[in-house]
Amino acid sequence: MTMAQDWHVSEQMLKFQIGDLIFGTMHFKVLACEVGLGNEGSDMSLPPDKVLESDMSGYAIRGLPVTTARPLLEARDGYYIYTPKTFLRHYINMRQSFEDYTKGFRSKTRSTIRRKIRKFSEASGGSIDFRAYRSAGEIEEFYRFARKVSADTYQERLLDAGLPDNQEYFTQLRNAAANDGVRGFVLLYEDRPISYLLLRIVEDMLLYDYLGYDPEYAKWSAGTVLHWLAIEDLFAEQRYRLLDFTEGDGEHKRRFGTDHITCANVFCLKKKPSTYFMLHLHAGLDRFAAFSGELLTRLGLRSKIRKWLRR
């Protein structure tokens, strides 16, 4: 078994949102850890038995493997234990060849992906400008291209979740590249970057970090083309055990993943009346968002509204 990321001081937040619309956030300083894929974490004691600094609100455990449904909110030992999100964590088993990996797709799916790649190649004049970045010397170009794409993505405009735009982050990225700790990929069209993907390397695992594509090129499936080429490039290295798509259950993760486990994000926050109120408000808004999302889906409006918001 691999170890979870070490406990560390972190500024966490809960977003009060419906779909892509964020109405506010709740910030708190905690002791946090990310439980890595394949860890035995479901037996972790809650709240954890770690010493907190006086100004900390509690603990945050992300990606905790779960085998049974957890209560949404419970009180225990002076803490509120809040589990707002349970999700499927998809990953790719990379202890195989790329050819064997592609055989796991349905023939129709393989045909669709290849048609998208061929369509993009034809639009690009017969070749695809796909670039991979590994070293510290290469990462500056990757970061410049990726930032151009990220600035136009809905993740940055609506969710404040784009590739960070500051010198401190770039320095961290360059240092990671110097230690062979990242892989970056960019897809270009007529010398213009239109899609990017960044992964971190932890031991023999690849961890999904940041991605985005220019919505102007959605008709050419730029994200799908980049993912396929990047995964093929990573298989060619023959050094990884798995590619962990981390949190979230997006369509592309389901499409490209080979396996999944169920995980949860859990917050253990000190009991206070204000915390109790905010957690119930957050849970109520999440329930409303889920209900309204299901209603819009039944009415055939969800995807149309999402596309309109992201534009």
Kindly report, residue by residue over 166-196, the tens digit of the pLDDT: 999 999 999 999 999 999 999 999 999 999 9
Report the pLDDT value the prediction gives residue 1, as an integer from 0 to 100: 32
Contact criterion met (CB below 8 Å) for 139 and 182: yes
State how far the Cα of 304 lies from the Cα of 37, in Å rounded to an integer: 34
Residue 148 clears pLDDT 80, i.e. is over it: yes
Place of tokens 């109520």: 284
Nearest residue to 238 via CA among 100, 99, 130, 95: 95
The answer on pLDDT for 220 being more than 50 is yes
Q: CA-based angle 112:19:144, to the nearest 5?
A: 65
pLDDT digits 0-9 by tens, 19-38: 667 788 899 999 999 886 75
How far is it, in rounded angstroms, from Cα 190 to Cα 304?
30
Peptide bond into 273 cis (omega under 30): no
Q: Are strands 259-270 and 79-93 parallel, antiparallel or unpaired?
A: antiparallel
- Please indicate whether residue 54 or residue 293 has the higher confidence score (pLDDT): 54
Q: How far apart are CA 236 and CA 130, in angstroms?
A: 15
Q: State the pLDDT at residue 76.
A: 95
Residue 213 scores a pLDDT above 50:
yes
Average pLDDT over residues 126-140: 95
Given a cut of 60, whether residue 42 has pLDDT beyond it is no
DSSP state of 42: T
Average pLDDT, the chain: 87
Per-residue pLDDT, averaged over 88-104, amounts to 95
Band of the pLDDT at 249, cuts 50, 70, 90?
confident
Domain ranges of the chain: 8-88+261-310, 96-240
Decide if 195 contacts 26 (C-beta within 8 A).
Answer: no
Q: Taking 60 as the threshold, does the pLDDT of residue 297 lie above it?
A: yes
pLDDT at residue number 154:
47
Topology adopted by domain 96-240: Aminopeptidase (3.40.630)
Overall average pLDDT of the 45-68 stretch? 92
**Residue 106: predicted pLDDT:** 92
Taking the CA atoms of the chain, what radius of gyration do you get in angstroms? 21
Residue 149 near residue 196 (C-beta atoms within 8 A): yes
Report, as an integer, the average pLDDT of 56-75.
Answer: 93
CA distance readout (Å), 5 to 35, 62, 212: 6, 10, 26
- Look at the block and give the residue holding tokens 């949190």: 247
- What per-residue confidence (pLDDT) applies to 16? 87
pLDDT band at 18 (very low <50, low <70, confident <90, very high): confident
The rounded distance, in Å, linking the Cα atoms of 129 and 233 is: 14
**Cα-based angle 211, 258, 104 (whole degrees, multiple of 5):** 115
Q: How confident is the model at residue 290 (pLDDT cuts 50, 70, 90)?
A: confident
**At residue 110, what is the residue type?**
R
- Nearest by Cα to 208 from 263, 165, 248, 160: 248
**Residue 73's beta-bridge partner residues?**
82
Give all strands (DSSP E) within the chain, no chain letters: 8-18, 21-34, 58-65, 73-76, 79-93, 129-133, 182-189, 192-202, 205-213, 242-244, 259-270
The answer on pLDDT for 159 being more than 90 is no
Determine the pLDDT at residue 85. Answer: 85
Could you give the C-alpha distances from 10 to 73, 113, 160, 301, in angstroms and in order? Answer: 22, 40, 18, 38
